Structures are given as C-alpha cells and as structure tokens.
Structure 1
Amino acid sequence: MSDGAYRGENLLFLTDEQLRQGIEAMFFAYRGFTADPDRILGDMAYGRAHHRAIHFINRAPGTTVNNLLHILGVTKQSLNRVLRTLIADGLVESTVGKSDKRERHLHLTEEGKQLEQTLSDAQRARMRAAFRDAGPDAVAGFRTVLEAMMDPEMRRAYTRLKESGQ
C-alpha cells in the first residue's frame, strides 16, 4: 500500500487487498496485545475470559453480574464459571445488592487489583510504545476506526464507560 493511502488518501476506495491487509494487521496486533497477559494468566491457569472480567470489574467497581454479561457478550453459564474461579481464588468479591437482593455486585480484592495492574501494565507499555511510534494523528485515527467498527450498542457502552472517568 502506498504511503498516501496510509495518510488518508483514497480511503473511501480501498481495494479488497488493502482491506485484507488491514484485517491481517488487526489479527497480528491483537495477538501481540494479548501475548503478555496470556503468559501471566497461563501461569495461573486462567484465560482471556478471566482477564476481561477482571478488567471490567476494575473499571466499574460494584458492577452487577448482569452488566458484566452485557459488556462481555458471553453466556451466563460461561461468566459464572469464570466468576466462581476468581471468587474462589480470592481475586473477586461478590456482594448481594442492597435494593435488589437478586443482584450480585462485583469488586476486585486487593489481590485482584494487583493482578489487574500487572496485566494492564503490560498492555499499556505495548500501547504506549505503539502510540509513540505512530504519532498523535495516527492515534486519533486509530481510535476513530475502532469506534466506527463497534456495533451501536457496544459504542454506547464504550462511551458510557469512557465518560465515567474511572
């Protein structure tokens, strides 16, 4: 692909080959983005589902199981399996809702916060280096592209989370 196409020229007329290259770049970038946390979690017999749960519980302490189900887009059975492990291992606490006893609110324990910090530090280092190399215009464009790829419902959830300032 020419440098001009990367700078924004002809973006409305991308060829199938250019789109394929973008798709492949996204696959390989995702592998890199998840590689460090995967190694850390693998030593603990955890996977990406555990990482995502820990991340979003940290982002919204006290979130409900139903809210986490909505954000992660997984089955209740799958999430419950992940949460049972995280709770049993002392990384997450589940409390009954004050106004609705059927709700379970989730919080990271101190140990859970430490694990989340370790996982996020690895990803932040990779993102920081990539963003620094790419420059501010590329970073803004990257975010625009990611947001444009989100389904409307997920974009709303992302915007709410972003605006919460946590």
Structure 2
Amino acid sequence: MTAPAPGTLRDLASAGVPFLTGVRPLRGDPATRLPWRTPLWAATGTTPDPRSAAELPTHAERFAAMVTALVTERRAVPLAPDGGLEHTVTLAAALGLSTVAWTLWRDRETPDPLLALHRFADLEATVRFEPAAVRVRVPMGRRHADLLRGGLLADVPDVVWLGGRTLTFSAG
C-alpha cells in the first residue's frame, strides 16, 4: 500500500471523518497507532469498532481485487485518449455493482461488487429500441429471479439519455 497524498488524513480529521487505515501515516498526521498485531492507525481521538478493525485487511483485499477487475481486466473506455472518462465510468460501474450486490444479497451474504460482476458477467439480454421504449428481455434463470425479487426489473419511465423513452424489462 502507498501512503495517501500529504494532507489527506489531516483533511479527513479536520472534517470530522473517522478513519481506520493500514497505511502508515505521514509525520504530523492526526492518527494514532492501535495496539494490534497488524499495524493499524485510526483518527486521533476516535475508537474504532474492534470488529471493523479486524475485518479491515479482508476488505482491503476485496477492494484491491475489484479495482484490478475494473481497471485492468475490464476497462470501461479502453480507447479513450485520457483517463478522465475512464475514471468516471469505472466509479459509476463500481457504485452500480455495489448497489446491485447490496440490494440482492445483503440478507444472505456480504455484498460484494466483484461477486456481482462475476455473477452477471455472462448474463445475456436482448435489447430492442422502439420509438417509445427500449425493451430489454432477460433470460429466465437464477439471475433473473434475483433481479426480479430485488425489484431491479421494474420499468423506468422517461429515461433522459434514451431520449425520454421508457426502459422496460421482461423475461424470455
């Protein structure tokens, strides 16, 4: 892991944001080392939840795997001349995958955006553009059932980037 940019932890602390990190802070950063076998630091004056602190290395590994998958293995805009659009689309994809994972699986397992990516990577759908609607037909099966149960196959009216068309979903 690399250190955050100078001033990052200071800015977080001054904004009242509690933090927990496995990255060694820079000199003068408002962080206190926790008494763990693995070096961890928390915002000075805060007491992190011991369970969260214990799970930090696992979450950091999951995050690194997600970044690898989205940034190196499945680039969103591979031909973009600069990284601005790529960064924005990757962030939107990570947020979308996280939302799907949370919506569908939070009650039965740890929501994981990378798991959502793997589970839906081979989901095929047929898309048909019509004057008033864009129709998406998702094949029946476990993923369709998950999406339906989670309420993610509801029609979306007046989608701006589809020219005001309604986005509809059906099974097929």
Q: TM-score range by the shorter chain?
A: under 0.3
**Higher relative contact order, structure no. (Cα contacts within 8 Å, ≥ 6 residues apart):** 1
* Greater strand content: 2
Structure with higher helix content: 1
Structure possessing the higher radius of gyration over alpha carbons: 2
